[in-house]
Amino acid sequence: MEIDEDLKAFLVESSENLNQLEVDLVALEIHPTDPELMTRIYRHFHTLKGNGGFLGLNTLESITHAAENLLSRLREGQLTLNLEVTNGLLQVIDAVRVILTTLETTGEAGEFDFTGLIETLAQLKSSDQVGGEAESSAAAELTSLTSAVLHPSSIAESAIRVDVDLLDDLMNMVGELVLCRNQILEFANTQSDAYLTDTSQRLNLVTTELQEGVMKTRMQPIRQLWSKFPRVVRDLARSLDKQVRLVMEGEDTELDKTLLEAIADPFTHLIRNCIDHGIEAAPIRTAAGKPAEGQLLLRAAHESGYVNIEISDDGAGIHPDQLKQKAIKSRLITPEQADRMTDQEALKLIFLPGLSTTEQVTHVSGRGIGMDVVRTNIEKIGGAVDVQSQLGQGAAFKLKIPLTLAIAPTLIVTCGGERYAIPQVSLLELVRLEGEPAQQGVEQVHGALVYRLRGNLLPLVYLTDALQLKQAASASNGGPTAEPEDILNIVVLQAVDKSFGLVVDAINDTQEIVVKPLGKQLKGITCFAGATIMGDGRVTLILDIQGLAQRTHMVSEQQEAAVRATSDQTSTQAAQTQPLLLFQGPDKRRMGIRLTGVARLEQFAWEAIERVGHQEVIQYRDQILPLIDLSAVFGQSAATQPALEGEPLQVVVVISTKAQNTDDQTMFGLVVEQIQDIIDEPILIKGPATQSGVECSAVVQGKVTEILDVEAIAQTVQFVSPQRPVAV
């Protein structure tokens, strides 16, 4: 029979309490006035009673409550401990064991009648003596039940409690073993000894399994943190006169115990914030057409070595303009900065210290010292927090937390002859430029280095400058380093509410590293978060992305304003440009298609063409792809036919733009003569359409180009077969 984790934990803890109770009761007989023993016994019975009541075990709650009443008289000195009292309390222990054993074996508490035992305890409470008949009846009752229940190998016997410090030491030793494993693997890869290779691979397997096993000993389900929130939500909702329903998903998601403790306070504050600021009172919700009861959702799931956690509500949402006004009023930003902010950037103002959206201070919130602490605590453990909101529909706080602090997925880069590790939680994307794009890609806007990434200006930070590595690299290599303009490697990173590009010499690979803390002497260096030892035995420093951004300041306030203004202008210009696919059409006509409707560019052999009725088709990605030959649509002279039958068929796979946002998408292939280029430039329209299927004539790159109306071609022209080439 499967027993859930909560019941299993209750059985283990209760068994430990009963064992300790037996020892303490026997000791109390020898030292009946020992206050410490008396208090400990009372506390154990009280814990059993509370847990029993929480799980709905009414019989267990009744008998432990009776024992608790008896102990109260003993603690207050109104009753003297004697043989009868000790026997009665020991019988309670036996009765609880019967209930726990039945619960473990059947999953139910069982129908037990301990009326006689409860009456015995009541008599003992009111008198130093109890009738032998009542005591014998209770003892016989227990003997009968005990013999009927089969004390099998219990869950408590198979469980063991280990001190967290011991697990920490074990994890550190496994970390050292992982480092040794990496060194041996790297050495074995350079050797031709087959026996060494086999042995190192076996070591790799065993070490990996051992590492995973030790990590599991520290992993605990997030329900252990969430279990206290139903009460928190209930009490807070009642105090604010609101109706709130708590929904929890992914309670079995496991997280390192240390991280569970670290996120407890941020979690509590976010939940209180959602109830206080987000969810409206019942009359307001009803007037807005919402259910009177608001919903608070907690969701957790594993993804790529991290735990994604969402705390969301279906309340009023966060108004970006109100946040801007509050920030201006608190002198945290200027009106000019507020005007340049997008709504998403404005939402992140909520994490600024000293900012509160509440008009007056209450016992719940209003002092502006919560959300900045939430972000700081999450980032301390290598995590990230983001906020999203939609007015009238609610807000969501999304946390990204590493599974453990001991092992971290990172990107390894090289700069100035040294390797550095970048935590993947801060990584957005990688950009590599070579040749002319690298030489002309970096621009200066009012003294700030930027790169135009998809129309947006991305501030750049050269790691060699940030860490002052240029002179060291030149000295160690015996000369100047390679010109950075020849090859440009940009690691796009997210720091707090800004993204920036970190320029490095080389991007190596991704690795899960064993994180080692820095010594006391180095903790003041804000750009490093720790260190690790690589497979070759060399130390690699882990970059602190937040600290690096703060240390370099990226751009000044004036530069940022100029960069943003230039970026806005660039975006406006980009809106006037259109990405086009250029190709040669029939009769050597220069044609183009808007790239938004192009799915892929393909080449097919003529032998792959099949016929369905009068239509030529090709089997393509588990679909039957109809073909439209532009030569047949617009007409073609024999001189432009392909010269050799062996040449492949050039096909532009198109998705109908009118169907792109629906489930019923239309996909077909346009057969063209030769694909020429993909560009993103302004279209200067010079003339009207020349014939049906052509949207307009335009000058592109100084040449007249016909821009096709793909929708018109697909809808007005019957699908026609591609013309077979004429063999020469």
Residue by residue, DSSP assigns 449-460 as EEEEETTEEEEE
pLDDT at 496 over 90: no
Q: What is the pTM of this model?
A: 0.54
Distance CA 536, CA 187 (A): 8
Mean pLDDT of the chain: 79
The whole-number average pLDDT for the span 289-315 is 89
Residue 635 pLDDT: 67
Tell me how far apart the 2 most distant CA atoms of the chain are, in Å: 121
Q: Which of 8, 25, 44, 7 is nearest to 157 (CA)?
A: 8
Scanning the structure block, which residue is given the tokens 């283990």?
12
* Most confidently modeled range among 202-211, 401-410, 563-572, 673-682: 202-211
Question: What's the sign of the alpha-carbon dihedral 160, 164, 167, 169?
Answer: negative
Q: How is residue 38 written in tokens?
A: 């008396």
Q: What is the 3-state secondary structure (H, E, C) of 298-360?
A: EEEEEECCEEEEEEEECCCCCCHHHHHHHHHHCCCCCHHHHHHCCHHHHHHHHHCCCCCCCCC
- Which domains, ranges and CATH numbers included, belong to the chain? 5-158 (1.20.120.160), 164-221 (1.10.287), 223-402 (3.30.565.10), 408-555 (2.40.50.180), 575-716 (2.40.50.180)
Cβ atoms < 10 Å from Cβ of 686: 12
Rounded to an integer, what distance in angstroms lies between the CA atom of residue 80 and that of residue 128?
A: 7
C-alpha 589/C-alpha 267 separation (Å) is: 63
Percent of the chain with pLDDT over 70: 80
If 0-12 CB within 10 Å is exposed, 13-18 middle and 19+ buried, where does residue 198 land? exposed
Beta pairing partners, 598: 654
Q: Where are the alpha helices (DSSP H) in 390-514?
A: 436-441, 463-466, 470-477
- State pLDDT tens for residues 619-667: 887 788 888 888 878 766 443 344 445 678 889 988 765 544 444 457 8
| Whether pLDDT at 286 is above 90 | yes
> Mean pLDDT throughout 549-560?
61
What is the Cα–Cα distance from 452 to 574, expressed in whole angstroms? Answer: 11
**Token pair 């019988």: residue:** 91
Q: Where are the alpha helices (DSSP H) in 348-392?
A: 371-380
Residue carrying structure tokens 């007989």: 29
The Cα 578–Cα 507 span in angstroms is 32
- Structure-token match 């011991």, residue found: 166
Answer for the pair 386, 497: CB distance below 8 angstroms, yes or no.
no
For the segment 673-686, the average pLDDT, to the nearest whole number, is 78
Q: Please, which pLDDT band fits residue 156 given cuts at 50, 70 and 90?
A: low
Q: Quickly tell me which residue has 């306070």 as its tokens.
A: 265
SS3 content of the chain, % helix, strand, coil (to 5): 45, 25, 30
Instruction: Look at residue 81 and give its three-state secondary structure.
Output: coil
* Block residue for tokens 């252990």: 224
Q: How far apart are CA 445 and CA 438, in angstroms?
A: 17
Which tens digit of pLDDT belongs to each residue from 380-396? 787 888 899 988 899 99
Cα 294 to Cα 271, 291, 363, 427, distances in angstroms:
13, 7, 21, 35
Distance CA 63, CA 117 (A): 8
Give dist(CA 236, CA 244) in Å, integer: 9
Phi, psi (degrees; rounded to nearest 5) at 485: -75, -20
